[in-house]
């Protein structure tokens, strides 16, 4: 992404790549917290499985062969990424994440949510070495979709490999979990994160490193994260100054609000407050997100949020 730090799974998660390189089965379940880098690891595994050049000592792809170049360009013919549908039939953002059976079978994709379907994708022989299906959000697989995948997972055409990614293992259907070898993707060390930033030409930022908490995915969007952190700091600085500055800061936050990063950035700014204040501030933020998801007036929702946050942090 624009402004991102190109993190290397081979640097941040070398043991995971080594485990995947030694794996000879049909399905891997990569588990770990949000933004820890599971998708980057999955793509690195897919690249290694199809690499035709001289691979690295840990099994990582060479990065130079035709397959690796296609992977870097995001247009690899042998890799399919399946994710929950992002919108409803009316075009609004989906409130509940779901990977429906339509992702697996073209005939069941009534809303045409997916351009490529798993079953049809696997019918075609690989262009390079091996077809790889990455299911980003295995906990969001519907029962019908999971059952439709079972036959393919147990006897994949052309030795295809399934990579299931999950944050919440408890929500992954047993039929999928029991047929997959589990690999845990743990947060990297702060030193490894700092090293990745330095290699990318960015001076290590103490706040950003602390916010990342070892999650490589944060560094893939570093400029947006820095912007969200600054917006959160600006709001925090305005709150004690009075009601009008707080409302003006809330209005500014509304214009730049990014649901992917601002909620976490806001929580980060009040991490040092007493526990009872943090709990009330979290509740105020939850109420804001709930109002936005319910398509309430954004302007009013942010004003209410600013007032509730001043009260939560004992600044009213």
More confident residue, 168 or 203: 168
Beta strand ranges found along 238-305 (DSSP E): none
Q: With beta carbons less than 8 A apart as the criterion, state whether 107 and 98 touch.
A: no
**Which tokens is 269 given?**
């700014």
Q: Cα 182 to chain center, whole Å?
A: 18
User: What's the rounded mean pLDDT across residues 69-81?
Assistant: 95
In the DSSP assignment, the letter for residue 126 is: P
pLDDT in the model for residue 57:
84
**Which tokens is 186 given?**
């743990």
pLDDT tens profile 144-200: 999 999 999 999 999 999 999 999 999 999 999 999 999 999 998 898 888 888 877
Indicate the helix (H) or strand (E) that contains 78.
none
pLDDT tens profile 107-128: 998 888 899 999 999 999 999 9
Percentage above 90 pLDDT, the chain: 75
Strand order in the sheet with 181-184: 79-82, 132-136, 161-166, 27-31, 181-184
pLDDT in the model for residue 6:
46
pLDDT in the model for residue 313:
96
For residue 92, pLDDT over 60 is answered with no
pLDDT in the model for residue 45:
95
pLDDT tens profile 12-44: 788 898 999 899 999 999 999 999 999 999 999
Q: Which long-range contacts (CB under 8 A, 24 or more apart) does 278-287 make?
A: 280/311, 280/312, 280/313, 281/309, 281/312, 281/313, 283/308, 283/312, 284/308, 284/309, 284/311, 284/312, 285/309
Provide the 3-class DSSP secondary structure of residue 102: helix
**Which tokens is 87 given?**
């919108």
The per-residue DSSP string of 188-227 comes to PPHHHHHHHHHHTT----HHHHHHHTT-HHHHTTHHHHHH
pLDDT in the model for residue 4:
43
pLDDT tens profile 217-266: 888 888 899 999 999 999 999 999 999 999 999 999 999 999 999 999 99
**Which tokens is 245 given?**
């500055």
CA-derived radius of gyration, the chain: 22
Q: How confident is the model at residue 94 (pLDDT cuts 50, 70, 90)?
A: low
Indicate the helix (H) or strand (E) that contains 149.
helix 143-154
Burial zone of 289 (CB within 10 Å; 0-12 exposed, 13-18 middle, 19+ buried):
middle
pLDDT in the model for residue 293:
87
* Closest C-alpha to 7, from 225, 182, 168: 225
Lowest-confidence segment of 44-48, 93-97, 310-314 by average pLDDT: 93-97
Q: How confident is the model at residue 202 (pLDDT cuts 50, 70, 90)?
A: confident
């Amino acid at each position: 992404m624009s402004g991102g730090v190109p993190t290397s799974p081979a640097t941040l998660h070398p043991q995971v790549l080594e485990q995947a390189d030694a794996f000879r089965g049909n399905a891997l379940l990569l588990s770990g917290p949000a933004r820890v880098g599971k998708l980057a690891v999955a793509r690195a595994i897919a690249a290694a499985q199809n690499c035709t050049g001289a691979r690295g000592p840990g099994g990582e792809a060479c990065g130079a062969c035709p397959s690796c170049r296609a992977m870097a360009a995001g247009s690899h013919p042998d890799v399919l990424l399946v994710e929950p549908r992002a919108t409803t039939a009316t075009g609004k953002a989906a409130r509940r994440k779901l990977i429906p059976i339509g992702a697996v079978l073209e005939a069941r994709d009534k809303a045409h949510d997916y351009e490529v379907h798993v079953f049809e994708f696997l019918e075609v022989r690989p262009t390079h070495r091996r077809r790889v299906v990455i299911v980003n959000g295995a906990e969001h697989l519907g029962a019908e979709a999971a059952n439709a995948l079972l036959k393919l997972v147990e006897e994949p055409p052309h030795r295809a490999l399934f990579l299931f990614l999950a944050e919440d293992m408890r929500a992954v259907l047993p039929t999928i979990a029991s047929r997959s070898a589990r690999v845990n993707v743990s947060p990297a060390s702060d030193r490894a994160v700092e090293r990745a930033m330095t290699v990318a030409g960015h001076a290590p930022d103490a706040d950003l490193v602390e916010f990342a908490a070892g999650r490589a995915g944060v560094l893939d969007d570093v400029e947006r994260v820095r912007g969200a952190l600054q917006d959160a700091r600006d709001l925090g600085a305005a709150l004690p100054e009075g009601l009008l500055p707080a409302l003006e800061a809330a209005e500014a936050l509304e214009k730049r609000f990014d649901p992917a990063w601002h909620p976490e950035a806001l929580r980060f700014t009040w991490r040092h407050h007493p526990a009872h204040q943090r709990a009330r501030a979290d509740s105020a933020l939850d109420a804001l997100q709930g109002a936005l998801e319910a398509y309430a007036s954004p302007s009013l929702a942010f004003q209410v949020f600013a007032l509730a946050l001043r009260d939560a942090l004992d600044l009213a």
